[in-house]
Structure 1
Amino acid sequence: MNNYDPIQALSHLAVVSDYFLQVTLDKNGKVISSDSGIGPIPTFFDNKEKPIYFSDCFVPSNWGKYESQRIKAWRNSHQSFTVDLQKIVHPQGEIVDTKWEFFFVSDDFGTCLGIGHPYSQPMPYNLGLGDFFDSTTSEGKQIIDSILEDKLLGFWEFDLTNKGDKISQGLGHMLGYTQDELSGTTPISWQKHIHPEDFPNLLRDLGSHFKTTGNIPFKKEFRINQKTNQTIWALGFGKTIEWSSTGRPTKILGCILDISDRKKQEIWLKEHHYFLKELAFEQSHTLRARVANILGILEILDSEPQNNESKRLVQLIKRETKLLDQSLKKSIKESVSKNKSMEDVIS
């Protein structure tokens, strides 16, 4: 897979979606291709070959912002760049704020394919990307949100017939490979970077995808070990795009997303959850046990002969100790409630 193949797959998703936008611009801002939501609607008198430019699709002053990000990405050897653009809605002439990621698709880094979406409007219920990108499910929302938040690590393709494994340059760089290694003839397998503890479950879920003839998309959370020995959490997903005449899978195409931040939050929640459980145990078994001991001692003192002042002090201490015990009961109850809520969030 060359670097443009997976981008074309993502471009296709944008074309069939009512939510995402797609446009390809040359270095002069001329629109090479786009979906129907980009550019003015031609009239009967317009020439079919009439070119469309950046200024026909976006606020003209945004061109400087676009060029600045393109040149910055090129100088830093990045394969893509993001930029916020104000899209012109034709024929009304309204302005809509949109967020874009542009990919370099030519050797001179001048031609760029962009995938965009409006961010000033709520996300629609159905993006038209099929079951895999169903925005009504938590998994679909997570995948879409991850892509929109620029956490897409790269693409992968596996040819089951020839046992060929191909990855995009972005994924290769994330794994720690140099440009020379990615450009070489030796194939690079991203599967060997999967954490050994996660690999069996990943194969099991992939097998389930095959057994349902692709009706259940493959998606799995797992850890990736980079060449630098650093570990990140990833969400891999994909679909079988080619089947043999006998119904056997022959080629799979998918993406990998970075979910390390979310996993860090989950780990923090679990640690906080255990802390609350230990605190509740400490309150119920240790602190209340000491309070019970104090009340027992006060009962003994109360049965002994005392003057009026001593008796008053014993009753005062007993009353305050009982109030302390009630406060501990309330605190324990709240801790148990918080633990239950935390368990619901973690699960």
Structure 2
Amino acid sequence: MNSWESIQVLSQLAITSEYFLQVTLDKSGRVLSSDSGIGPVPSLFDYKEKPIFFADCFLSSEWSKYENQRVKAWKSSHQSFFIELHKINHPDETTTLTKWEFFFISEDFGTCLGIGHPVDPLKPYSLGLGEFIDGNFGNNELVDSLLENKLLGFWKIDPQNEKEQISPGLAQMLGYQGEEAQSYTKLSWQQHIHPDDLTRVGNQLRAHLKTKGNLPFRSEFRMVSKNHQITWVIAFGKTTHWTSDGYPQLLQGLLIDTTEKKKQEIWLREHHYFLRDLAFQQSHSLRARVANIMGVLEIIETESHSEETQKLLNIIKTETKMLDNSLKKSIKESVQQNQSWERGIRKED
């Protein structure tokens, strides 16, 4: 995640969310700040300024792993680093595997702000994403996208005054530089929607407004930058302010990069078509040739042969039947895989 604005937004979310976790560590491992889910709960007998350290929050044996990742990122001139740590749950002293991204926030690259979440949540957590997403969250896809450098930026729309605004990071991603990038408060992300996707996205946005926000705005489409680079994105949004007459006053949302996910989907589609064609070839071409061989063998069997020749014919006949059975099994499995894949695609659509 390259935008400090994005880091600050996630940091604030971690304070209000029961899913996100937050901790700031100095170079010695002392906790400078944390949310209520990190570290022991102080008792009445603890000193008010009693310091908390890494070993109070995570398995002490993982400090060296943390340090190695920090030094490695620092030497590679990276702004942040990823790591999985076992968080200690107080007071029962059990542990939970958590995934973190730590950001350097000091000039000596020693103090790090960490934002994390459980790897395998045992319950539906409330993300606390407030104005962007409602309800409980059952899988890690969105959170992983936010933490794994896929958050492109934020946007606002004022439909009453026909004004739009995007975050600086999103402006840069869309190819704006110099003075153009500085005027991000006047830039429109909708102008960069791929022409083939524009009508569909517009309909989904209007559906959100017509239902008074009851239907969340979520849309996957292509964005085209100024230099004609295409990026697949998912847009999440919500109307956060309404007029007294019930008209939308302010829409806010975010954009997440899904290009790699889309590449995988395209590969799966091509693989699906390959399997379908292969099943057709197996069913019609290969099995037809096997049937021809079986027919020829039946004709040959009507003639008299030596004992040795008859053994060879029996072997050929047995192997041919086994080949036909293998083809039938392979065809059945290919058809089942394709049907399963097509059902999955229909559910997504």
| TM-score > 0.5, shorter chain as reference | yes
1:19 aligned counterpart, secondary structure: coil
Measured after TM superposition, the shift of residue 239 of structure 1 is 0.9
Cα distance, 1:148–1:4 mapped onto 2, change above 3 Å: closer
Measured after TM superposition, the shift of residue 11 of structure 1 is 4.5
- Larger mean CA deviation between 331-340 and 159-168 belongs to 331-340
* TM-score of the aligned structures, taking structure 1 as reference length: 0.74
Measured after TM superposition, the shift of residue 289 of structure 1 is 1.1
Match of 1:99 in 2: 100
Contact 2:157/2:164, CA 8 A, preserved across alignment:
yes
Equivalent position amino acid for 1:174 in 2: M
Match of 1:295 in 2: 294
Task: State the distance in 2 between where 1:40 and 1:253 align.
Answer: 37
Verify: 1:308 aligned to 2:306, yes or no: yes
1:275 aligned counterpart, secondary structure: helix
Contact 1:65/1:83, CA 8 A, preserved across alignment:
no
Query: What percent identity do the matched residue pairs reach?
Result: 45
Equivalent position amino acid for 1:132 in 2: D
* TM-score of the aligned structures, taking structure 2 as reference length: 0.73
Cα distance, 1:162–1:340 mapped onto 2, change above 3 Å: same
Cα distance, 1:52–1:69 mapped onto 2, change above 3 Å: farther
Mapping of 1:86-165 within 5 angstroms?
A: 99-100=100-101, 102=103, 114=113, 116-119=115-118, 122=121, 124-129=123-128, 132=134, 134-136=136-138, 141-165=140-164
Q: Deviations over 1:185-235 (max 9, x none)?
A: 782222122111111111111112112221222111111122332212111
Task: State the distance in 1 between where 2:240 and 2:271 align.
Answer: 43
- Larger mean CA deviation between 6-15 and 272-281 belongs to 6-15
Task: State the distance in 2 between where 1:291 and 1:66 align.
Answer: 59
Match of 1:172 in 2: 171
Q: Deviations over 1:215-266 (max 9, x none)?
A: 2221111111223322121111011111111111111111111112211111
Task: State the distance in 2 between where 1:217 and 1:186 align.
Answer: 24
Question: Unpaired segments of 5 or more residues in structure 2?
Answer: none
Give the aligned CA root-mean-square deviation in angstroms: 4.4
Contact 1:238/1:254, CA 8 A, preserved across alignment:
yes
Question: Unpaired segments of 5 or more residues in structure 1?
Answer: none
Q: Deviations over 1:121-143 (max 9, x none)?
A: 6464222537635222xxx6421
Cα distance, 1:118–1:8 mapped onto 2, change above 3 Å: closer
1:257 aligned counterpart, secondary structure: strand
Contact 2:167/2:184, CA 8 A, preserved across alignment:
no
Task: State the distance in 1 between where 2:274 and 2:314 align.
Answer: 36
1:197 aligned counterpart, secondary structure: helix
- Larger mean CA deviation between 167-176 and 39-48 belongs to 39-48
1:343 aligned counterpart, secondary structure: helix
Match of 1:337 in 2: 336
Match of 2:226 in 1: 227
Contact 1:25/1:32, CA 8 A, preserved across alignment:
yes
